[in-house]
Amino acid sequence: MYRIGKRFRFEAAHSLPGLPDGHKCARSHGHSYSVEITLTTEDLHGPGFVVDFADLAGLGAYLDGSFDHRDLDTVLDVPATSENLARHLYCWCVEHLDLPAGVRIETVRVSETASTFAEYAPAMP
Ligand SMILES: Nc1nc2c(c(=O)[nH]1)N=C([C@H](O)[C@H](O)COP(=O)(O)OP(=O)(O)OP(=O)(O)O)CN2
Ligand SMILES: [Zn+2]
């Protein structure tokens, strides 16, 4: 099994609802987000690619156009936690990235800070 990944970055603000009084994350604040997608396949394509890294540019364009320098509370219809972002972006990639047969999107990982992350991968059947 081959596995590749590509990392993207964007800057955005958010606040989180449903937290105890005084929780710092209930206040509007910003992060330098990192988004990492990983893909797997058993068979390589072209010169020996899972996919060309350039074929993942659509995710970067989506992040630049819809997430970068925005208030994420107005972008998603769920609270802008790392977990919800990871799931949203995984689903976007499944719908919008044109991948060769046999190439699977394994995970999307979102980090708000250097020391934290949340990952979404659908449950295996
Ligand atoms: N499971 C999750 N927990 C938290 C999330 C999240 O998305 N998923 N998000 C937050 C806040 O967005 C917060 O801004 C980041 O939290 P935290 O890492 O605790 O903040 P710091 O960078 O300030 O870390 P310190 O270790 O406290 O310095 C909170 N929780
Ligand atoms: Zn935050």
Question: What ipTM was assigned to the predicted interfaces of this complex?
Answer: 0.93
Question: Is any atom of ligand 1 closer than 6 Å to the C-beta of 119?
Answer: no
Q: Mean pLDDT over all residues of the chain?
A: 97
Q: What is the pLDDT of residue 122?
A: 93
Quick check: is 88 catalytic?
no
| Annotated binding-site residue numbers | 14, 29, 31
Task: Name the CATH superfamily, with its identifier, for domain 2-19+29-120.
Answer: 6-pyruvoyl tetrahydropterin synthase/QueD (3.30.479.10)
The 10 Å CB-count burial string (b at 16+, else e) for 104-118 is bbbbbbbbbeeeeeb
> What residues does each domain of the chain span?
2-19+29-120
Q: Three-state SS for 31?
A: strand
| Annotated binding-site residue numbers for Zn(2+) | 14, 29, 31
Catalytic residue, chosen from 69, 88, 95, 119, is: 69
The answer to whether residue 125 scores a pLDDT higher than 80 is: no
Average pLDDT value for residue range 101-112: 97
